[in-house]
């Protein structure tokens, strides 16, 4: 859409992309109120009148243009994953294979295979090696008796539990950082809440006998390194012993009642809910207990580590004084309406649905605003199916007239921490961005 701002004709998108400050000055004016021809132009750009334009603050790019476009394919459209049984996931990267679930496909209480995001760091191991009868898991390191167990032995020797567990990539929300950081430009869709069946890691570790010297895990999987080098792991992360001993940290062999699909780590994976998804080692072959912080691929420096003190956004750091990223911060998604949806003229209420979660904590509240943050309506937030499951939320908001709206949604965790207005605690690899989300909705 082309607009006339002063002497130049440019789209609002172009104007903001090329010179955000100038775009802002043109669109909002010095005093920060959208008015006159600028208001009309903005309305034309977003495709309708803006009933709450008076609340739009200078410095806020309309959500219609601001939302991360994810991986843009050749036609400017997100590239779509093509994989049997998978839904319309956004293909972020082909090698290694990485795909994000758009928020509106996360409308199921329990995430199906079709809508489960994919994150690989290396190659996908051969299908043949996933024969569950041949698969063995080794437990060694700082234990009294190293163990090697088949999947069948795991299932018969230890109590089997089934839980709904959230798994979220440590980089979820990365695209919301400014300046941009390296890594997959996830929106909010690197999250799942499937039903997992397996045994508790702590039961298995206790069977091996945890030595007092053990303070950390180190985990290994069967996926080859991207380069094909056999002496390098695609990823090998570890966690503090306390998390390994949590009753919800599982070695799983079924997802949603079925054997785990190959791409999600068959026949055996770890499920470490609430902490970075990278800990949930797929194609799991070995867990070693360490007497120090594990030093495998994906550990140390700026990998899955965050600054203790804020750093200047865009600056460099070797991460020496960073700390391990552990419990993930509070976040919410909107699943009832896709960003950019158009609703029939005359629609005067939105029935909204979504999910919210907060790492090891629970969610106390979800609030929604349709007037650019001037007023907020509290949603109903359901209890989690069990600890470490996400929480579904629902609610209704009224709309005064047709036009362009932004549904702003934000969650508050059980400790009172809220999603911030902008991604905070910038770090070089872009972990933990959880700002308030905004979905553009056009009525009429
Ligand atoms: N063996 C192995 N496990 C892995 C990975 C990997 O590349 N290899 N990626 C990790 C990361 S970064 C995430 S976010 C989750 C994603 O799991 P999913 O692909 O089943 O969604 O798996 C984790 N486990
Ligand atoms: Mo991840």
End-to-end alpha-carbon separation of the chain, Å? 18
* pLDDT tens figures, 300-311: 999 999 999 999
Q: Residue 1 has what pLDDT?
A: 41
Q: Is 289 in the pocket of ligand 1 (CB under 6 A)?
A: no
- pLDDT of 228-278, one tens digit each? 999 999 999 999 999 999 999 999 999 999 999 999 999 999 999 999 999
Provide the CA 93 distance to its chain's centre, in angstroms. Answer: 16
CA 278 / ligand 2 centre spacing (Å): 5
Is the CB of 111 inside a 6 Å radius of any atom of ligand 1? no
* Among the listed residues 299, 300, 321, the one whose alpha carbon sits nearest the alpha carbon of residue 310: 321
Confidence bin at 355 (pLDDT 50/70/90): very high
If pLDDT is split at 50, 70 and 90, which confidence band does 3 have?
very low
Residue pair 217/274 in contact (Cβ under 8 Å)? The answer is no
DSSP letter for each residue of 406-434: EEEEEEEETTS-B--SS--S--TT-----
The string of pLDDT tens digits covering residues 50-95 is 999 988 877 678 888 876 555 444 455 679 999 999 999 999 999 9
The pLDDT of residue 10 is 64
- Atom 2 of ligand 1, residue of closest alpha carbon: 282
Q: At residue 7, does pLDDT exceed 80?
A: no
Question: How many A from CA of 171 to the centre of ligand 2?
Answer: 6
- Classified as helix, coil or strand, 68 is coil
Average pLDDT, stretch 127-139?
78
CA of 330 to the centre of ligand 1 (A): 21
> How far, in Å, from the CA of 277 to the mean position of ligand 2?
5
pLDDT at 68: 59
**Is the beta carbon of 264 within 6 A of some atom in ligand 1?**
yes
Q: 146 and 157 in contact (C-beta within 8 Å)?
A: no
- 235 CB under 6 A from ligand 1? yes
Q: Which two tokens stand for residue 278?
A: 């990278």
- For residue 107, the Cα-to-chain-centroid distance in whole angstroms is 15
Least confident of 14-18, 110-114, 410-414: 14-18
- What pLDDT is stored for residue 40 in this prediction? 86
Helix, strand and coil in the chain, % to nearest 5: 15, 30, 55
Alpha helices in 223-341 (DSSP H): 241-244
Give the closest residue to 356 by CA, choosing from 312, 411, 406, 431: 411
Residue 367 CB less than 6 A away from ligand 1? no
- Which of 39-53, 184-198, 337-351, 406-420 has the lowest average pLDDT? 39-53
d(CA 106, CA 167) in angstroms, rounded, equals: 13
- The predicted pLDDT at position 297 comes to 97
pTM of the model: 0.93
Average pLDDT over residues 191-212: 98
- Greater confidence, 73 or 128? 128
More confident residue, 197 or 128: 197
- Write down the H helix ranges in 62-177: 63-66, 151-157
- Is 221 close to ligand 1, i.e. is its CB under 6 Å away? yes
pLDDT at 17 over 80: no
Q: How far is the CA of 134 from the centre of ligand 1 (A)?
A: 22
E strands, 206-275, are: 216-221, 250-255, 258-259, 269-271
pLDDT tens, position by position, 92-105 = 999 999 999 999 99
Give the residue, 211 or 131, on which the prediction is more confident.
211
Is 388's pLDDT higher than 60?
Answer: yes
Q: Kindly state if the Cβ of 280 falls inside 6 Å of ligand 1.
A: yes
Q: How far is the CA of 279 from the centre of ligand 2 (A)?
A: 8
Ligand 1 pocket mutation pick from 124, 233, 278, 325 by most atoms within 8 angstroms of CB: 278
Task: Enumerate residues 6+ apart whose C-beta is below 8 A from 411.
Answer: 330, 331, 332, 356, 357, 358, 363, 365, 366, 367, 393, 418, 419
Q: 418 C-alpha to center of ligand 2: Å?
A: 23
What band does 398 get if pLDDT is binned at 50, 70 and 90?
very high
Per-residue pLDDT at 160 exceeds 50: yes
Q: Average model confidence (pLDDT) for the chain?
A: 92
DSSP per-residue letters across 251-302: EEEEETTEEPPGGGTTT-EEE-TTSBGGGS-SSEEEEEEESS---STT-STT
Gap from CA of 156 to ligand 1 centroid (Å): 26
* CB 121 near ligand 1, within 6 Å: yes
Q: How far is ligand 1, taken at its centre, from the CA of residue 120, in Å?
A: 5
Atom of ligand 1 nearest to the CA of 284: 1
Q: What's the confidence (pLDDT) of residue 131?
A: 67
333 lines ligand 1 (CB under 6 A): no
The greatest distance separating any two alpha carbons of the chain, rounded to the nearest whole angstrom, comes to 78
- Give distance in angstroms: CA of 101 to centre of ligand 2: 14
The whole-angstrom separation of Cα 423 and Cα 329 is 11
Q: Report whether residue 278 contacts ligand 1, using a CB cutoff of 6 Å.
A: yes
Q: Is 9 helix (H, G, I), strand (E, B) or coil?
A: strand
Q: Extract the tokens encoding 125.
A: 């191991």
Query: Torsion angle of alpha carbons 253, 256, 261, 266, nearest 10°?
Result: -10
The pLDDT score that the predictor gives to residue 129 is 58
For residue 116, the ligand 1 atom closest to its alpha carbon is: 21
Strand order in the sheet with 341-343: 341-343, 437-443, 403-413, 363-369, 377-378
Q: What residue owns the CA closest to ligand 1's atom 23?
A: 278
Nearest CA to 38 out of 64, 62, 5 is that of: 5
The residue nearest atom 11 of ligand 1, judged by CA position, is 278
* Tokens describing residue 130: 């996933």
**Whose alpha carbon is nearest atom 12 of ligand 1?**
278
Residue among 441, 366, 339, 439 at smallest CA distance from 399: 441
Q: Which atom of ligand 1 is nearest to the CA of 264?
A: 20
Does ligand 1 come within 6 angstroms of the Cβ of 122? Answer: yes
Decide if pLDDT at 30 tops 70: no
Residue % of the chain over a pLDDT of 90 = 81
Distance CA 242, CA 249 (A): 10
* Residues facing residue 403 across a β-bridge: 443
Give me the mean pLDDT over the 111-139 stretch. 88
Ligand 1 centroid, distance to 203 Cα (angstroms): 23
Query: Positive or negative, the Cα torsion across 401, 402, 405, 407?
Result: positive
Whether 8 has a pLDDT exceeding 70, the answer reads: no
Query: What is the H or E stretch that residue 205 is in?
Result: helix 201-208
Pocket test for ligand 1, best of 266, 282, 285 (most atoms within 8 A of CB): 282
Q: Is the CB of 277 under 6 A from ligand 1?
A: yes
């Amino acid at each position: 859409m082309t607009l006339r701002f002063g002497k130049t004709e440019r789209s609002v998108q172009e104007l903001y992309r090329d010179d955000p400050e100038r775009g802002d000055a043109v669109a909002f004016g010095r005093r920060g109120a959208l008015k006159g021809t600028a208001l009309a132009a903005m309305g034309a750009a977003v495709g309708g009148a803006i009933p709450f334009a008076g609340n739009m603050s200078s410095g806020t790019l309309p959500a219609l243009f601001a939302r991360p476009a994810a991986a843009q394919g050749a036609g400017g459209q997100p590239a779509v994953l093509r994989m049997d049984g998978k839904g319309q996931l956004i293909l972020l990267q082909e090698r290694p294979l990485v795909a994000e679930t758009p928020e509106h496909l996360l409308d199921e209480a329990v995430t199906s295979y079709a809508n489960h995001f994919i994150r690989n760091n290396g190659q996908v191991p051969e299908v043949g090696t996933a024969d569950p009868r041949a698969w063995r898991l080794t437990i060694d390191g700082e234990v009294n008796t190293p163990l090697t167990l088949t999947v069948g032995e795991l299932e018969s020797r230890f109590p089997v539990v089934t839980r709904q567990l959230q798994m979220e990539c440590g980089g979820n929300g990365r695209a919301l950082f400014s300046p941009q950081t390296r890594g997959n430009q996830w929106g909010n869709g690197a999250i799942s809440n499937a039903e997992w069946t397996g045994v508790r890691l702590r039961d298995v570790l206790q069977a091996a006998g945890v030595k007092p010297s053990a303070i950390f895990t180190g985990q290994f999987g069967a996926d080859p390194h991207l380069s094909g080098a056999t002496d390098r792991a695609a990823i090998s992360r570890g966690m503090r012993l306390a998390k390994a001993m949590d009753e919800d940290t599982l070695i799983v062999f079924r997802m949603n009642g079925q054997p785990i699909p190959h791409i999600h780590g068959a026949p055996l994976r770890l499920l470490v809910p609430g902490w970075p998804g990278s800990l949930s080692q797929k194609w799991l072959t070995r867990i070693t207990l360490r007497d120090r912080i594990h030093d495998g691929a994906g550990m140390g420096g700026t990998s899955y580590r965050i600054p203790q003190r804020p750093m200047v956004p865009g600056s460099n750091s070797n991460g020496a004084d960073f700390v391990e990223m552990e419990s993930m911060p509070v976040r919410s998604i909107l699943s009832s309406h896709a960003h950019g949806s158009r609703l029939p003229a005359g629609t005067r209420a939105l029935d909204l649905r979504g999910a919210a979660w907060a790492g090891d904590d629970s969610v106390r509240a979800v609030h929604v605003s349709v007037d650019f943050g001037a007023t907020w309506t509290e949603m109903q937030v359901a209890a989690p199916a069990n600890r470490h499951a996400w929480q579904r939320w629902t609610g209704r908001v009224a709309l005064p007239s047709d036009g362009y709206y932004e549904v702003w949604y934000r969650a508050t965790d059980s400790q009172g921490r809220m999603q911030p207005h902008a991604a905070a605690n910038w770090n070089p690899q872009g972990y933990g961005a959880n700002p308030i989300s905004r979905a553009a909705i056009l009525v009429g």
